[in-house]
Amino acid sequence: MSRAPRPEAALGKQTQGTPGRWRRLVRVACLMAAGIALWPALPAWDTALYVTALSPFVAAFSLLAARAWPATAGLGLAIGLATLVRHRLFCRWLCPLGVCLEAAGGVGRRLGRPPWHGLRVGPWIVLLTAGGALLGYPFLLWLDPLAIFAGLFDALARAREPLAWFGALGFAGTMVLSLLWPGLWCVRLCPLGALQDLLMQARRFLRSRAVWKTSGAAPRDGVPQPVRRALLGVAAGTILAETTRAIPRPAHPLRPPGARAEPQFTGLCTRCGNCLRACPSRIIRLDLGSSGLAGLLTPTLSFERDYCREDCVRCTHVCPSRALAPMPPEGKPQARIGRPQVDMSLCLLGNDRDCAACARWCPYGAIRYVFSEQEYTLRPQIDPDCCNGCGACQVACPTRPRKAIVIRAADHG
Amino acid sequence: MSDRMNRRQWMQMLGLSGLTASVGALGTRATRAQGVGESSGFQSSVITTHKVQTERANARLVDGKVIQPQRELPILDTTDVLVVGGGPAGVVAALAARRAGARVTLVERYGHFGGLWTGGLVLLVIGHIVKGGKQVCQGIGEEIMRRLDKLDGAIMDRRPGVNPTVDAEAVKYVMVEMIEEAGVRVFLHSWGVDAIVEGNAVQGAVFESKSGRRAILAKVTVDATGDGDIFAAAGAEFEHRSHNVGLVSRIGNLDRVDASKTGGAPKPKHLGSRTPVPGVNWVNLHGPEVDGLDVATLTRLEMSHRKFIWQNIQKMRQTPGYEKVYLMETAPQLGVRITRVLHGLHRIALADLKAGTKFPDVVGVGGSENGGHGEWPIPYGSLVPVRAENVLAAGRCIDVEIRMADLVRLIPNCFVTGHAAGVAAAVAAQDGCRPRDVEVAKVQRILRQQEAYLG
C-alpha cells in the first residue's frame, strides 16, 4: 500500500502550494479553449468532440465496450500514456473542470470547510466501469469529468430549453461538493484522476516485479493486494453492469441516428451533451426517466417542432464514446431512428379531408396515399425501405393536439 | 328571307363553300325569336324551320376514318383579354384584368361561376393562411370573402387563422354580382376547346356551345381551365399527371340525428363537415388516382362514386339515430384535382419553400392547407409557358412540381394566381407586348393597388 501513489501529494502542488505562474496560465487557457470548443456557435461544429475525447477514462473503456476504434480515441490514450510519465498530468495541466472545482474549493476553505478524509471511491469507479466495459456496458462512464464539464454547456447554449438545464446537473453537483468539502471530487471521487493513480500504481508495481526478478527475491505473498483489489473491482463491475442492464425500462425512447442497441447505448453514453448541442434542428432532449434510471439524462429525440434532417449527421460525429456510431451523410437514409405509426381515427384522410402534408414533407419520398376501395378513402402508405423515421411527417402532420402520424422506436413492441 | 340573304352575303363575302347552315344566323334569329315569342302569346314559338341543307361541314366518314372538314368559325367577340374557365382563378383573373382597364371576355363551360368551389362543392376554403394564422391571400379573393361575410348564411368560421366554409349558391351569386359590376363580357355554357394560333402565338380561343363552334379573338388569353386545355392546344409544353378524382356530396338532416338513440356508438363514416346551411354537411371523397383527362375513366368514376355515395347513405340511415339523414345532392362536377401542369419559365418547388427563397418577379404569395408552414412566393415565370406566346396559365395548372401541386390547387391560391395572370394579361394587352416581356414592376404595382399581398 505504501507503493500506491498519493493523489494528494500530486495535487497538493496545486491545491496548497502556489502553482507556478506558467502552469496557472496554461490551465486557464485550457479552460477557455474548452469553453470555446464546446460552445455550439462555432462554425466548426465538431470541436466539442476534441474536448471530450481527451479523457483516457472515456477513450479506454468506450474502446473496450464498443469494440470499435474511434478516430479520436488516440487522443485520450496518448494522454493516458503521458500520465504514466508524469503522475496526474491531466489534472495538473489540462482539466477544465478541475480549475472550476479548485476555485469552488478555495471559497469553501475560506469559509472554513474541512477537507474530506473518507474512502477513496475513484479507483472503485474505474474498476467497476472496467468490469462493465468488458461486457460492453461501461455504466459509470458518465462520471468522466470532461463529460460533466461539457454538460454545463447544454444549459449555457440551450438556456431557453428548461430540459437542457439538467445537463448541467453534474457540474453543479461537483461544484457544491467542492464547496462543502474542498478537494473531495478531485482527490477521492474523480474516475479520471483515479485512473491516473491506478496507471501509476500499475507502473510501480510492474517495476517492483522487475526488481524482484533481477534480484531473485520472491514475492512475499500469493497475489499482491493491488491486483486482488483490481480483480475484485472488475468482477463486481461485471455483476453490477449486468444488474443495471437488466433493469426493466418503462418505455423505449427514440434515439439519435446511429445509436447503438438500447441497453448498450445507455451504458456507453457519457451524457456529455455533445450531440444535443451539435443538433441544428434542436430535437435532442435529455431523458428524465422515460427510459428508466439507467437511461437518465441520455439523449432522446422529440419531433414536436423539427425533424432529423436528411443531410445532417453531426451528432454521430461528436460522440466521444461511440454510443452513436459516426456515419457519412450518404448513410443517413439507412440510419433507422424509428417507424411511423398512423392513427386513422386522427388522420384527416380518415375523415375524408384532403391533406398531403406528410407526403409533401417526407424527405425520402416514402409516403404515398393509396385509395382503398373497401373504405372508399385514401390512407397513407409508408414504404419501410425508404423511411428512416426522421420525423418530418410527424412535424408536418396538422392534427392537434395529438398527431395522426407518430414515430415510434423501431424495435418497440 | 332576311336569313337566307344574310347567309348568301356571308358566303359571297368570304368566298368559301362548306359553311354550316347555322353559321352566321345567330344575331338575326335571336331578334326574330324574341319578336315571334312576344307576339304569339304562347310559351313557345317557332324560331326557324330547318329543311334539308346541302352545304354542311359535318364530320365525314372517309375510308373508315372520321374526317372533320375545314371550315370557318364565326368570330363572336374581339377583346383584349380572354379568360377561359370561370372558376376561382378565372373569375378573379377576369375581374383583375377588367379593373386594370382591359376589355375582358370570360368563357365558362358550365352554367355558373366558381368551378370546383361551387360546381364541385369543395366548400372548405383552405390555403389562405400560413403559420401563426397570417392570411396571405388578399386582393380580389379576399374581396369575394368579404362580400360573402355580408350575406346571411353564406360563410362560416371566418376567424383569423381558421379555414372558413362557404355556401356554394352564395358564391355563385356573389361572383355574378362582381362580374356584372366590373363589366366583364361573359359566355356561359361555352366549353373552351381550342386555341387560335398564329405561329406560336395564341390569338384567342375556340369554344363549343349550343350555338355551335365559335371563336373569340383576344390579345392575351388566360388559361384558367384547370386542365390547361388552351395552352395544351396551343402547343405549350406540359406535364400530364394523375391524381385522385372524387365526387363531393351534401347530406341533410344532420340536425335531426337523435343522440339518445346512438348509444355512445362511434359516428358513421363519411359524415363530412358542417356548412353554413343548418343540418347540412358536405362530404368530401378522395377517389382513386387516375388520369383525369380520360373520358372513359371520368365516366366510370361518376358512376361508381354515385353508387358508393347512395349506398353509404343507405347504410348510414340504418345506424340508430341517423334514420332521417338523406342525400341532398352529388356535385355537378367531378372532383378532378390535377391533370395538366404547364412547363413554364419557373417551377414552384418545395425546396424554395423550405429555403424561403425570394423571387424578384413575385406576383403573389401562396398559403398552406392547414397553416402549418410559412408563405411561399409565386413568381410570374410559373404562369408563363416556355413555348407558346400570348397565353398565361392561372389556377392549378401553373408550373409546379408534384409535391407542391396540392398547395397550388387550393382555392385561395387559385385566387392569387388568377389575380396575377389577370393583371399581367391586361398590362401585356395595353402595352402591346408579349406576356413574357411584360414589365413585372408595373404588374406588381397594379396588384398592390388592387390590394394583393406580394410578401
Asked whether residue B24 is domain-assigned, the answer is: no
DSSP string, B317-336: HTSTT-TT-EEEEE-SS-EE
Cα–Cα separations (whole angstroms), residue A174 to A53, A110, A263, A314: 20, 18, 27, 29
Asked whether residue B81 is domain-assigned, the answer is: yes
Residue ranges making up the domain that contains B254: 243-335
How far apart are the C-alpha atoms of B455 and B453, rounded to whole Å? 6
Any B CB within 8 A of A22 CB: no
Amino acid B118 reads T
Same domain, B184 and B253: no
- Tell me the count of A-B CB pairs closer than 8 A: 54
Give the best residue of B286, B307, B312, B400 to mutate against chain A (max A CB count within 10 A): B286
Same domain, B249 and B237: no
Interface touch B350/A360, C-beta < 8 Å: yes
| Residues from chain B contacting residue A280 (CB–CB below 8 Å) | none
Question: In sequence order, what are the residues at sequence separation of 6 or more whose Cβ sits closer than 8 angstroms to the Cβ of residue B301?
Answer: B245, B246, B247, B287, B288, B290, B334
Segments of chain B with pLDDT less than 70: 1-41, 52-56
Residue A391, C-alpha cell as written in the block: 420525423
| Residues from chain B contacting residue A375 (CB–CB below 8 Å) | 269
Same domain, B108 and B221: yes
How far apart are the C-alpha atoms of A72 and B338, rounded to whole Å? 54
Interface touch A349/B286, C-beta < 8 Å: yes
Nearest to A376 among B289, B308, B369 (CB): B308
Give me the number of domains chain B comprises: 2
| Residues from chain B contacting residue A355 (CB–CB below 8 Å) | 369-370
What residue in B sits closest to A394 (Cα-Cα)?
A: B372
Same domain, B234 and B250: no
First and final CA of chain A: distance in angstroms? 52
Asked whether residue B31 is domain-assigned, the answer is: no
Q: Please count the other Cβ atoms lying within 10 Å of the Cβ belonging to residue A305.
A: 9
Domain boundary among B335, B354, B383: B335
| Residues from chain A contacting residue B370 (CB–CB below 8 Å) | 355, 357, 398
Question: In sequence order, what are the residues at sequence separation of 6 or more whose Cβ sits closer than 8 angstroms to the Cβ of residue A292?
Answer: A247, A248, A249, A250
> Comparing C-alpha atoms, which of B378, B368, B384 is closest to residue B447?
B378
| Residues from chain A contacting residue B269 (CB–CB below 8 Å) | 375, 377
Segments of chain A with pLDDT less than 70: 1-19, 211-223, 411-413
Interface touch A371/B312, C-beta < 8 Å: no
* pLDDT in the model for residue B24: 44
Asked whether residue B111 is domain-assigned, the answer is: yes
**With contact defined as beta carbons under 8 Å apart, do A352 and B283 qualify?**
yes
Asked whether residue B162 is domain-assigned, the answer is: yes
Give me the residue spans of the domains in chain A.
7-243, 338-413
Q: Please count the other Cβ atoms lying within 10 Å of the Cβ belonging to residue A239.
A: 13
Interface touch B286/A398, C-beta < 8 Å: no
Q: pTM to 2 decimals? A: 0.85
A351 to chain B nearest CA, in Å? 7
* pLDDT in the model for residue B48: 82
Nearest to B284 among A352, A356, A359 (CB): A352
What residue in A sits closest to B409 (Cα-Cα)?
A: A354
Interface touch A376/B372, C-beta < 8 Å: no
Give the best residue of A346, A360, A371 to mutate against chain B (max B CB count within 10 A): A360
* pLDDT in the model for residue B279: 96
Domain boundary among B335, B350, B381: B335
| Residues from chain A contacting residue B288 (CB–CB below 8 Å) | 371, 373
**With contact defined as beta carbons under 8 Å apart, do B92 and B422 qualify?**
yes
Asked whether residue B52 is domain-assigned, the answer is: no
How far apart are the C-alpha atoms of A228 and A233, rounded to whole Å? 9
Same domain, B331 and B367: no
Same domain, B107 and B176: yes
* pLDDT in the model for residue B41: 64
Whether omega before B266 lies within 30 degrees of 0, making that bond cis, reads no
Same domain, B328 and B363: no
DSSP code, position A143: G
DSSP code, position B343: -
Q: Please count the other Cβ atoms lying within 10 Å of the Cβ belonging to residue A255.
A: 29
Same domain, B187 and B249: no
> Comparing C-alpha atoms, which of B129, B126, B85, B79 is closest to residue B105?
B79
Dihedral angle of Cα B79, B81, B84, B87, to the nearest 10 degrees: -130
A281 to chain B nearest CA, in Å? 14
A405 to chain B nearest CA, in Å? 15
* pLDDT in the model for residue A161: 87
Same domain, B213 and B250: no
Asked whether residue B191 is domain-assigned, the answer is: yes
Sign of CA dihedral B232, B238, B240, B241: negative
Cα–Cα separations (whole angstroms), residue B265 to A376, B211, B256, B268, B311: 21, 55, 17, 9, 20
Residue A368, C-alpha cell as written in the block: 404515398
Interface touch A360/B284, C-beta < 8 Å: no
**With contact defined as beta carbons under 8 Å apart, do B128 and B135 qualify?**
yes
Asked whether residue B15 is domain-assigned, the answer is: no
Q: Which CATH architecture has domain A338-413?
A: 2-Layer Sandwich (3.30)
Same domain, B252 and B211: no
**With contact defined as beta carbons under 8 Å apart, do B75 and B24 qualify?**
no
Same domain, B159 and B300: no
For residue B356, the domain's CATH number is 3.50.50.60
Same domain, B224 and B345: yes
Q: Is A304 exposed, middle or buried (0-12, 13-18, 19+ CB in 10 A)?
A: exposed
Domain boundary among B298, B320, B335: B335
Interface touch B288/A371, C-beta < 8 Å: yes
Residue B435, C-alpha cell as written in the block: 406576356
Torsion angles phi and psi, residue B311, rounded to 5: -65, -35
